[in-house]
Structure 1
């Protein structure tokens, strides 16, 4: 279990691609299957709002943090893994990967896990963040087909950023939010911002969409899951919460 937890952490940090301990558990006759209710690692609405507001305040004080706002909004709103915005040997995410169809719907082309390319729907609410970030970089408000600028580029040097560099941008805002929450509500309430990994933003966005009532199939395709069962298992907690609520009224 300890090894499995360690590999889960490595996967969330985009260091490992899989969990070999999980495969070993399937063949172990001595292990009992876990049927507990598992909570998705995510932020609630108030925690997410505070994180985004903190990033905006940081950018107001220093425009360099415009990258941080854009990154947070993109990862949460479009359920992105941090590796999907990072420059890799075989793929560089560029601005022309944002594209419009003939119905004026915006999409983002992503090279994801398992070397699969998918298109993610881009909501209207994200476009102001895209425009704000591009204008800060001295680019036209919206990208075109010939726009080969990296989606998140380095300040020093040319090209896009690595996964570790992007993770550092996320943690800059998490650390500041932790300090803000600790001063307001104490260490216990603030601790979650120390526990958060960048991968939580993907979980946060997807969970909120499920709660909003968006079709599971649509969320699953945007996430890049090969099966809706994966989305259902990881993100749908409604039935378990209803079971807990109905169980509270039991009498001894």
Structure 2
């Protein structure tokens, strides 16, 4: 078991592109003190992460960076075997490690990996590879690192990242096999769940509270017009947070709303997997778009070629980042939760306290399923690779029938 505290290995993608170890004195010294094969491994991982950053989204880079960084630190500090020598049993040992990492490897706060000091990037001594976070609805909870336990989703993500890394090493003729699929198959921590799948969504009643609260906030303070526009857009157009935010290679602008020859409105999105898709825009949504544009001092509806940034910063230039958009959504969730708790009690309001930004996409899609919209049409709006994905994630008709038929069972 590792007894020393780990050090960060990789910065953000933008910093990684320009990375020179001369600018990272602690990281450079750490790598220089390791066997030559470990520094070579770091180079392999750096090349892989640059590939991910070029070809995937910023969110995917961050997720894969986190998993590959943990894996390399375990290889360097615990297992001390080259990755091309690892077999299924070694990977299973790593997963055991991830399920119960050393306390020194866990923190209860988010810390940056590096800080820029006097022209150099200093490694943050407070940073750790694992983080224990409180539930969204209980931010005041005192956290105990000894109670850290990753979710099945987290472990699934780890297997995905490691398998992708090994496939890259195989493509580069560094490795000649991928031990990850076999390890995942035999992993005792991966419990197969064939039971009820729930979708993180709001009920129609909770959604109505949310949108009504957003309207009330905007009526009282014009600055909340952005919040109202974002919340209505995310839910109605089934957007992921990244699809509304300003990114390095894409900025949503007003002309991404467009009409076809039959005067149907569409919204062009740069989505997951770097794929552009067009989403149908319902007539009922246009009143929210017009209201938002009126607040911006624009004509009622966008014109062809209009380059006005869709959701721009109040101060500074450019569009909002995912984190900034998330904060605006959270303001509405918080206000709606307080309003519903006050008027209807804690239990009906609790979901609004737990909800995250992704609830909006799931809520919009689930409501479309319930009104019997063709699955293929909804799947294309959502940007799913196939209707089967939409069916798996959202269709819960049989579950509801099962629940109804089971309600009247007798105890005696």
Q: Give me the TM-score of the superposition, normalised by structure 1.
A: 0.91
1:12 match? none
2-structure distance, mates of 1:189, 1:245: 21
Residue correspondence of structure 1 range 26-65 to structure 2 within 5 A: 26-30=184-188, 31-65=190-224
CA-CA distance at 1:33 after TM superposition: 1.4
| Residue 196, structure 1, aligned to residue 196, structure 2 | no
Q: Deviations over 1:54-90 (max 9, x none)?
A: 0111111100000111111111001001110100000
**Which residue does 1:242 correspond to in 2?**
401
Distance 2:321 2:154 in 1: 21
1:20 and 2:154 are equivalent in the alignment: no
Offset at residue 193 of structure 1 (A)? 1.4
Q: Whole-Å Cα distance in 1 between the matches of residues 202 and 354 of structure 2?
A: 11
Q: Is 1:114–2:261 an aligned residue pair?
A: no
Counterpart CA distance in 2 for 1:159 and 1:132 is: 21
Q: Which runs of 5+ in 2 are unaligned?
A: 1-98, 100-148, 164-179
Distance in 1 separating the partners of 2:154 and 2:298: 40
Normalising by the residue count of structure 2, what TM-score does the alignment of the two structures yield? 0.56
Match of 1:181 in 2: 340
**Residue 171 of structure 1 aligns with which residue?**
330
2:369 to 199, 205, 210: 210
State whether residues 4 and 19 of structure 1, in contact with CA within 8 Å, keep that contact through their aligned partners in structure 2: no
3-state SS in 1 of match to 2:280: strand
Moved over 6 A (4+): 22-25
- 1:49 and 1:221 map into 2 onto residues whose CA distance is 26
Contact 1:68 1:173 in 2 (8 A): yes
Distance in 2, matches of 1:177 and 1:251, equals 39
Q: Which runs of 5+ in 1 are unaligned?
A: 9-17
2:305 to 146, 151, 171: 146
Counterpart CA distance in 2 for 1:227 and 1:73 is 26
1:203-251 CA distance string (max 9 Å, x none)? 0000000000100111110000001111111100111111221233445
Cα distance, 1:69–1:230 mapped onto 2, change above 3 Å: same
Q: Is the 8 Å Cα contact of residues 326 and 357 (structure 2) preserved in structure 1?
A: yes
Equivalents in 2 of 1:127, 1:181: separation in Å?
27
Which residue pairs with 2:383 in the alignment?
224
Q: How does 1:86-97 map to 2 (within 5 A)?
A: 86-97=245-256
Q: Which residue of 2 aligns with 1:160?
A: 319
For residues 250 and 315 of structure 2, what CA distance do their matches in structure 1 show? 20
Secondary structure of the residue aligned to 1:27 is helix
Distance 1:26 1:242 in 2: 34
Describe the shift of the 1:171–1:32 C-alpha distance in structure 2 as closer, same or farther (beyond 3 A).
closer
Matched position secondary structure for 2:316: coil
Determine the C-alpha separation between the residues in 2 that align with 1:6 and 1:156: 37
CA distance in 1, matches of 2:312, 2:361: 21
